[in-house]
Amino acid sequence: MKKLDVASGQIIEDYVHGYATAEQERLLRQAEHWRDELILAGTTLYPGTRLLEVGCGVGAVLGILGVAFPGIILAGVDIEARQLEAARAHLTRLGLEADLRQADALELPFPDASFDHVWMMWFLEHLPDPVAALREARRVLAPGGTLTAIEVDYNTIWASPSSQALKALFVTVAQAMEAAARSDAGTRLPEWLVEAGFTSVDPGEIRLAYADEDLTRQVPYVAAVVESTLPTLTETSRASEPQLKAGFAELRALPITPDAALGWVVHKAKAVR
Ligand SMILES: C[S@@+](CC[C@H](N)C(=O)[O-])C[C@H]1O[C@@H](n2cnc3c(N)ncnc32)[C@H](O)[C@@H]1O
């Protein structure tokens, strides 16, 4: 988790995925990967909607929403200037305008009731105090405004056929995310939203399960997410390095393993201010 030291203007603490160019490109591929199944499915945004994405990263999700819903007014904040620089370039390439600002989610640089919709995706899992960020999001929402938050629970990842190495890998990923901030953000989302004062909370639980060609598409994605936490994995793992390597090899081989399947639980929660 990163924090902005307001006095010095410096970023302090560390963020589990880092900010290398390869990671920024991974975020673009990740949003593209989830465009239809998670981002656009069940989302309706009318022209004129003032939308803020908190933790917007390189603008990947803003780009998808801006293209899919012409006429919405885009804004994004991220704590890291390098992400916003990449977001500006990405959104310009798409011909989209957005008000992008460097800020901490706990201190959004907008007056009360500035937005009709707040979006958060793969974001609350990085915060030590997600409820505080949700309260701050609620503050900038207009009365009747809505919020979408999408998060996974890393403790729910399963594969079939299973093995000790695969189980060790999945446990290690959950431990790494927990050490960085949260491993169970998806499952906790509904209660956090209520605690932050939101109403009409829809938990939006989605039990993802993939086999056959879908598995061939998902495995490289899951492997890339796991690999992006690799430095933290090797620091925090109770499993041995050879065991983790074996787990990776088995994960990558799932598409060619007979009758294989892979799944996990995601929440696309919605709530009203
Ligand atoms: C995994 S990325 C997700 C980006 C984007 N939502 C997406 O799906 O592509 C999480 C982002 O949250 C940002 N972030 C982490 N802590 C933050 C904070 N306290 N305030 C604002 N942004 C933060 C990171 O810099 C990073 O760009």
Mean pLDDT of 108-125: 97
Ligand 1 atom 2, closest CA: 57
- Residue 20 C-alpha to ligand 1 middle, in angstroms? 14
Record the pTM: 0.90
Q: How far is CA 127 from CA 49, 171, 182, in A?
A: 27, 20, 7
pLDDT band, very low/low/confident/very high, at 91 (cuts 50, 70, 90): very high
Amino acid at 151: E
Cβ of residue 2 lying under 6 Å from some atom of ligand 1? yes
User: How confident is the model over 189-238, as pLDDT tens digits?
Assistant: 999 999 999 999 999 999 999 999 999 999 998 988 887 776 666 666 67
- Residue 160 C-alpha to ligand 1 middle, in angstroms? 32
H helix or E strand, kind and range, residue 5: strand 3-5
Q: How far is CA 7 from CA 10, 108, 129, 241, in A?
A: 8, 16, 21, 41
pLDDT at 243: 84
Q: Report the CATH number at residue 46.
A: 3.40.50.150
Q: How many domains does the chain have?
A: 1
Cβ of residue 19 lying under 6 Å from some atom of ligand 1? no
Whole-angstrom Cα distance, residue 16 to residue 230? 9
- Of ligand 1's atoms, which has the minimum distance to the CA of residue 28? 9
pLDDT band, very low/low/confident/very high, at 34 (cuts 50, 70, 90): very high
Residue span of the structural domain in which 16 resides:
3-272
pLDDT at 231: 64
More confident residue, 262 or 229: 262
Pairing of strands 199-202, 50-54: unpaired
Work out the number of other CB atoms within 10 angstroms of the CB of residue 69.
17
Mean pLDDT of all residues in the chain?
90
